[in-house]
Amino acid sequence: MFERRRTRQIHVGKVAVGGDAPVSVQSMTTTKTADVEGTLQQIYALAAAGCDIVRCTCNEIEAAEGLAQIVPRSPIPVIADIHHQYKMALAALEAGVHGLRLNPGNIRKPEHIKAVAAAAKDRNVPIRIGVNGGSLDSALYEKHGGLTADAMVESAMQELAYFDEVGFDLVKISVKASNVPIMVEAYRKLSAATDHPLHIGLTEAGPLPGGLVKATAGIATLLLEGIGDTIRYSLTADPVEEAKAGRQLLESLGLRERKNVDLIACPSCGRAEIDVIDVANRAQSAFADKEIPLQIAVMGCVVNGPGEAREADLGIAAGNKRGHLFVKGRNVAVVPEDEMVEALVEWAAFINEHGTEAAIARADTARAEREANKDRSALLEEKGADANHSTEKIVEIRRTAGN
């Protein structure tokens, strides 16, 4: 277990960030903000995927005008992303956004920074100080001899000092880099330097699957250390994938209540009697649009399947052209192999509504266990307890090593 770092709490619209609030998920639209209907369509898709806060670019007057129409119709709070032009931040505030993101590397004049902070203070609108390793202030880059964690933290603290001058403290901070070790080091140092809430992310993570791996390596490391109040995956992909990844990570770490199925599956072996990958993928698709917060297991055989996944709410294991359903490790039903996924969906819906005890109570467990034992015995007789012949390999290894 880890102790979450205690931070100040701010509100982005109705979403609390920091303090004892749940870690929230953010993403950013890829549409032109002036395209009001297209942007709203993407925002609704993001919200459905588990996104709590959305960011839209505000790089021109047409974008600010679009925000004025988007904000009141958005199902989640909207943050305006500002680059270079501080007047666009003022325009976004006029549009009614719930937050701003300013990049210290792009808006550098103290008077402009303080003007935005003062206007945000008047409207009680929070600002994220969004330091980005790719656009670090050149003076800091020179001072620190390149992109370093210290340079990014100093950039954030400089911006915070400007905010302090006008009495503005509705702040969250990010120090993002595309290099995982630098990003992690920067957030560790920042968390020691301030108690403002932190927005965690790896910038420019790239396309799937590599981007997902890199971003998870950085974000999960920090969250497990108790650092981080809101997160964003910056993937070169449909932003819905960012929201899904963020939500799934938080659920996996126990930082958010499970919203949908947690599908676990065995990696398969020589004993498997089905294409585990195919069945698992079909099950994943079948549960994709169903909000059933259960752990469900897909196992390739009846020898170890029920035991290895005994903590799952529901599972299925293949054996002798049949699927053996189990609930909390108890065999409850036998179904034809080609009906395995459909059976999982039906039983999952029942458990979600009535609970696991009711599911076990409605089953003929004696018959189900008898049939499972029969198929388990047949499989062991056919393929043996050592389906991958590891015992023979170990003997050969010892013989070779001993010579």
Q: pLDDT digits over 316-325, tens only?
A: 988 777 888 9
Q: How far is CA 363 from the centre of its chain?
A: 36
Place of tokens 């790089």: 59
Strand order in the sheet with 24-28: 171-176, 127-132, 99-102, 78-82, 53-57, 24-28, 230-232, 199-200
- How far is it, in rounded angstroms, from Cα 26 to Cα 242? 8
Residue span(s) of the chain under CATH 3.30.413.10 come to 262-383
What's the CATH number for 262-383? Answer: 3.30.413.10
Instruction: Kindly report, residue by residue over 177-210, the tens digit of the pLDDT.
Output: 999 999 999 999 999 999 999 999 999 999 999 9
pLDDT tens figures, 222-233: 999 999 999 999
pLDDT on residue 400? 75
DSSP string of 296-340, one letter each residue? EEEES-TTTHHHHTTTSSEEEEEETTEEEEEETTEEEEEEEGGGH
- What digits encode the pLDDT tens for the residues 112-160? 999 999 999 999 999 999 999 989 988 999 999 999 999 999 999 999 9
Q: With respect to CATH, is domain 9-252 assigned 3.20.20.20? A: yes
In this structure, what token pair is assigned to residue 55?
């960011």
Least confident of 4-13, 55-64, 220-229, 286-295: 286-295
| Residue ranges, CATH 3.20.20.20, the chain | 9-252
pTM value surpassing 0.75: yes
